[in-house]
Amino acid sequence: MSISSISDLEPSQTPKNILLLAIGSMGDVLPFVNLGVGFRQRGHNVIIAANSRFRSFIEEKRFAFREVIWDMQHEWENTESGRRMVKFSSYSILGSPFMFKFLKQGFQKSYSDAENVLNNVDFVVLGTGGAYMYPECLVRKIPVAYVCFYPWASSKSYAGAAYGRSFDSLQWLPFELNFKIWKTVDYVASYWSDIGLLPIYNQRLKELGLPAAERLPWLPGGAFEKNQILVIHALNKNLIQIQKNPLNPLEVQLDYPFLSIKEELKDYVPPNDLVEFLSQGMKPIYFGYGSMHSFSDVKSRVNIWLGVMKLLPENQRALFSGIGNLEIKELDDAIKSGRVFIVNHVPHSWLFPRISCVVHHGGSGTTHAVVRAGIPSIVVPHFADQPWWASILYRLGVTPNTGIQANAITVNKLLMALLDVLSNEEIKEKADKIGSKIKKEQKRSPVSKIVTHIEKYWEKMNWDVLTLDDEQQKIKVKENGYHINENHHGDGIKNGLNKNGMQEIKI
């Protein structure tokens, strides 16, 4: 692997207290831990805020931890709103209202964390799941950057990740019709967001003494765009290239924040029995859905995997991940026969190069890891951006279909997809080609570029002037002797500052 260490980064001359707000599952937390390594190497004090299930993981990495009460995974397993969201998660139309209802109650709980989480912080990096905390940062005059691992807005090539799939299959349509389709997707996305989340967001703005917002901050036309907030799409360009946003020149695309292989595996020692299993025969198939294991009954899920294995050639072996302490005779028999091995957490950068094919849920981190390893995969998307990633991999030609929805998966569907992958040399060659290209292009860990890009952003900011584009706030600002730009024009803003060097903030 050609990615070098980030340890050659020189310490910053202006160390700051950096808060990384990582709301969600491990897929949301891990890339922020990687960014924390980069910020720490630069000499900054790094705090990572997440729910308590990640406390030990974060503290083992020697970062300060602050607790966010909202445990998304616990609630989709144990609350009525969470269970309904899971039940309808695979339906593009029915899923949205249940998802937003689930997110709404999460917002309400998380706002109570702000006082503790944002205490004594110089700068906040908001993740996808934490963008709703923007006004909490605003009233405390804490500058922010937004790092997301999939785009919300649509382009002429793809629909926003949370709401749609790649439109490559529609390229045969006339441009005008294709344009209308993706524009409609944006409208639907905005509609569901506005009726689902905007009311609770505006209620919090009212409590903070701020004017109501017309859009949520991360959506097109929202505060991140209007205020020229730094938005980083942390996505490898070989998977998808994000078009420039003319309304926000500070919106950029950088690579997914992997550490180098050496840094990722610094303290990892693979279990002897796993090493032995991998060395005994042909490369196995990996079955695992990451944090999505609670979206389905574990026994049903494993029975499907076992059903597939029974129909594959006897020399084909597999790794099963995320099945807990399940005990069923068929699984025990498969383990004793040497065809199946149970794994817990194993770093993808170590494991995936030793695998023939990965059956996964399509999270951003797993998707990037699979592509970087240069192997094909089959995606079983559950919700959110996962169907989108499935379609992206299909567009790249490294998977046989646009995904098998989790609520519709069968032994036969998964078997047919696996037989296709295992026998299709073109898919294997394309996967290997993209993986090799990524390894060649990543001369150093992408984390260093993201960290230094954020540092350059805050060096150009006026840290003492954060205003609201509201009549009462304009009066207060003028009374205090500050200047505020009365008219917001996108072409008059550069690097987050207006023509007069002051930062203009909108809700």
Express each pLDDT in 347-360 by its tens digit.
Answer: 999 999 999 999 99
CA distance 130 to 137: 11
pLDDT at 474: 41
Q: Identify whether 379 is part of a domain.
A: yes
Q: Are residues 220 and 306 in the same domain?
A: no
CA distance 70 to 73: 9
Number of domains within the chain: 2
Q: Identify whether 67 is part of a domain.
A: yes
pLDDT at 174: 42
Q: Identify whether 491 is part of a domain.
A: no
Q: Are residues 255 and 387 in the same domain?
A: no
CA distance 363 to 390: 9
Q: Are residues 353 and 400 in the same domain?
A: yes
Q: Identify whether 492 is part of a domain.
A: no
pLDDT at 376: 97
pLDDT at 170: 41
Q: Which residues pair with 287 in a beta bridge?
A: 320, 359
CA distance 344 to 280: 20
Q: Identify whether 117 is part of a domain.
A: yes
pLDDT at 194: 59
Q: Which residues pair with 286 in a beta bridge?
A: 319, 358
pLDDT at 377: 96
Q: Are residues 100 and 66 in the same domain?
A: yes
Closest Cα partner for 202 from 218, 213, 217?
Answer: 213
CA distance 95 to 384: 9
Q: Are residues 274 and 374 in the same domain?
A: yes
Residue with tokens 């709703």: 132
Closest Cα partner for 124 from 217, 259, 11?
Answer: 217
- List of E strands, 174-271: 230-234, 251-254
Q: Identify whether 474 is part of a domain.
A: no
Q: Which domain holds residue 37?
A: 17-260+445-463
pLDDT at 217: 87
Q: Are residues 70 and 129 in the same domain?
A: yes
CA distance 357 to 415: 13
pTM for the full predicted model: 0.82
Q: Are residues 188 and 70 in the same domain?
A: yes
pLDDT at 191: 57
Q: Are residues 449 and 396 in the same domain?
A: no
H/E element, 18: strand 17-21
CA distance 160 to 373: 26
Q: Are residues 247 and 337 in the same domain?
A: no
Q: Identify whether 473 is part of a domain.
A: no
Residue 388 near residue 182 (C-beta atoms within 8 A) = no
Closest Cα partner for 17 from 131, 140, 200?
Answer: 140
Q: Identify whether 384 is part of a domain.
A: yes
Q: Are residues 230 and 320 in the same domain?
A: no
pLDDT at 142: 92
Both structure tokens of 140: 């405390």
pLDDT at 357: 97
Q: Are residues 246 and 310 in the same domain?
A: no
Q: Are residues 213 and 296 in the same domain?
A: no
Sign of the torsion angle spanned by Cα atoms 428, 433, 434, 440: positive
Question: The domain spanning residue 195 has which CATH number?
Answer: 3.40.50.2000
Residues of the chain predicted below pLDDT 50: 1-4, 93, 154-158, 161-179, 181-182, 463-503
